[in-house]
Amino acid sequence: MVAAGPSDVAVVGGGPIGLAVAWRCAARGMRVTLYDAAPGSGASDVAAGMLAPVAETYFGERVLTGLLVSSAARWPDFAAELAGYTGLDLGYRTEGTLTVALTPDDLAEAERLWTYQRDLGLPVTPLRPAELRDREPLLATRLRGGALAPGDHQVDPRRLVAALRVAVERAGVTVLARPVRDLAELDATATVVAAGCGTAALTGLPVRPVKGQILRLRAPGGAAPGFRHVIQGHADGRHVYLVPRTDGEVVVGATVEERADLDVTAGAVLDLLRAATDVIPELAEYELVEARSGLRPGTPDNAPLLGPLPDRPDVVVAAGHFRHGIVLTPLTADLVADLLATGTPDPALAALSPARFGTTTPARFGTTTPAGGRPAPDDGLTR
């Protein structure tokens, strides 16, 4: 489908954020064009899909925690609507997340977090080792303790992207499989930059790549994994999460590395496998089917950049979602679509302004090499 004339909205980036923004805008009657040379090939292709406002809540990130809780609350309806609209299965599962601690030191570290999370009013219930194994018999017998976050769900990001691609096409979005090097190329009333790590080069904003390595295992013989909860492990000082899918896959993640290469390293694979099998020993028998790395779009305060550029109110940024792109997809899409439809920013956007880190790296437009941004690394990721 080719749009007749200029679009109301140009969306740069075909990851879950860009696709969901485009879907929501099209549903409100806007003419939308989405640009991505390879939709869904960026960070989401490597993401685990934990929808975990509790398990992802850390000290000193209250603004982010509020966003995670708010967006996670939208996930049940969002998933039902998207699945109903497309007829596709998203791999959305609501068994909840078990956090487990292997050693006394791990338990002490985890208990500090659980206390903080409960003080914020988040639903997290400490469990004794026997209670953990009642819920998941495959957990290692030497676990010291754990906690259940019943509202921390999961979705399969690859299925999510596949469904969103169907949804945007059905909603009339024009999808152009080409990269955008400069926002001046675009012919639209408003532009949404949802380009992940590529946002830096397009806008000059401080979005940096944070490398993550993950593994995909597969249960033997085509069976479903022998556990149902998402498991977040504190294992001898290492952090690991294990996300079981009904199709037999288990995602094991993830490293957090301040580097921009995409190498899969022996040390990362070793650490992930060691922590995973420390938590669920039976995983040693699972097939290792994939070892991958990706680049998360990080920001100075780990919260996303959401809202108009200070000097370009027609350019709305929806980027910098770091480790939280999947859980923040529904909220981000709603906030951006509301802003474009009404012209009035939601109060929640005040703390997320792309301008909050100052103007030392101003956005530049109309140049083929943005002077304010870091060069886009040649890493094959979507931008």
List of residues contacting a copy of itself (CB under 8 A): 215, 217, 220, 263-267, 269-270, 273-274, 276-277, 283-289, 291
CA angle 294, 300, 301 (to 5 degrees): 100
Q: Which is nearer to a copy of itself, 72 or 219 (CB)?
A: 219
Residue type, 190: A
Q: Cβ of residue 256: shortest distance to a copy of itself, in angstroms?
A: 16
Q: Cβ of residue 220: shortest distance to a copy of itself, in angstroms?
A: 8
Q: Cβ of residue 281: shortest distance to a copy of itself, in angstroms?
A: 9
Q: Which is nearer to a copy of itself, 191 or 213 (CB)?
A: 213
Bridge partner residues of 294 (DSSP): 212
Q: Cβ of residue 217: shortest distance to a copy of itself, in angstroms?
A: 5
CB burial of 149-175 (b: ≥16 within 10 Å; e: otherwise) equals bebbbbbbbbbbbbbbbbbbbebebbb
Q: Which is nearer to a copy of itself, 267 or 375 (CB)?
A: 267
Q: How many CA atoms lie within 13 A of 274 on its CB side?
A: 12
Tokens of 41: 């090939």
Q: Cβ of residue 215: shortest distance to a copy of itself, in angstroms?
A: 8
What span, in angstroms and rounded, lies between the C-alpha atoms of 304 and 314?
A: 19
36 contacts 30 by C-beta, under 8 angstroms: no
Strands 249-253 vs 208-218: parallel, antiparallel or unpaired: antiparallel
What span, in angstroms and rounded, lies between the C-alpha atoms of 206 and 374?
A: 9
Q: Which is nearer to a copy of itself, 225 or 297 (CB)?
A: 225
Q: Cβ of residue 235: shortest distance to a copy of itself, in angstroms?
A: 13
Q: Cβ of residue 250: shortest distance to a copy of itself, in angstroms?
A: 9
Listed residue (175, 381, 140) closest to 284, CA to CA: 140
What span, in angstroms and rounded, lies between the C-alpha atoms of 341 and 48?
A: 32
Q: Which is nearer to a copy of itself, 73 or 264 (CB)?
A: 264
Q: What Cα–Cα distance (Å) separates residue 319 from each residue in 7, 229, 379? A: 21, 29, 18
Identify the residue whose tokens are 């939709």. 39
Q: Which is nearer to a copy of itself, 114 or 227 (CB)?
A: 227
Listed residue (35, 28, 32) closest to 3, CA to CA: 32
Q: Cβ of residue 243: shortest distance to a copy of itself, in angstroms?
A: 15
Write the DSSP string, 189-205: EEEEE--GGGHHHHH--
Q: Which is nearer to a copy of itself, 215 or 309 (CB)?
A: 215
Q: Which is nearer to a copy of itself, 36 or 249 (CB)?
A: 249
